[in-house]
Amino acid sequence: ANDRLRGVVEGTSDMIAALDRDGRYILLNSAYRATFERLFSRPVEQGMRLEEALVGRSDDLVRLKERWARALAGERFKDMAIYPDGDGALTHLEVSFSPIRDDHGALIGAGQLIRDVTDRVESHEALRRNAAQLEALGASREQAYEALQNAYDELKLAESRLVQAEKLSALGPLI
């Protein structure tokens, strides 16, 4: 049973971690370890306290402690987090926290499931930009159509005046 559970936890690209009530990591999958090290430039291991894992990263520690505290108090919630990558690109993470309870319902820790949604966020942003460009193009097209319509109307008016002038000119020698 433990091998199957380990296979499930390690077989996903999602990041999975759990803390006990004392704030010690009791479960980390390899995806979590790799992402943690990439984002925070520090390794994290099972048995470490959150404070140890984020030494020198006080802003991150404060933010993460607050989130973990909510889950360790029994709250289940989702959040979005954005972290700069080593190369300056932004990593967008969807983070789900949930309490862990024993067979009697007593709170014994909290779990965290993190999904990298960077591609989804970037695709959504690209769609938003494309929609704005299409809207601008549509407005530009409407303006161009209106300008062409005005030019056509002026041309028809000039043609009408020219026809009228030609008629008057033809009548002139007859008079």
What was the pLDDT predicted at 31?
Answer: 96
Nearest to 100, CA basis, from 77, 71, 78: 71
Q: How far is CA 96 from the centre of its chain?
A: 15
Residues 84 and 90: beta-carbon distance below 8 Å? yes
d(CA 35, CA 48): 16
The string of pLDDT tens digits covering residues 39-49 is 888 999 999 99
Give the single-character DSSP code of 73.
T
Give the single-character DSSP code of 82.
E
d(CA 79, CA 98): 12
What was the pLDDT predicted at 139?
Answer: 73
Q: pTM of this prediction? A: 0.70
Nearest to 96, CA basis, from 118, 108, 79: 79
Residues 25 and 18: beta-carbon distance below 8 Å? yes
If 0-12 CB within 10 Å is exposed, 13-18 middle and 19+ buried, where does residue 67 land? middle
Tracing tokens 């980390």 back to the chain, one arrives at: 28
Q: Which residues of the chain have pLDDT under 50?
A: none
Residues 71 and 97: beta-carbon distance below 8 Å? yes
End-to-end CA distance of the chain: give it in Å, rounded. 114
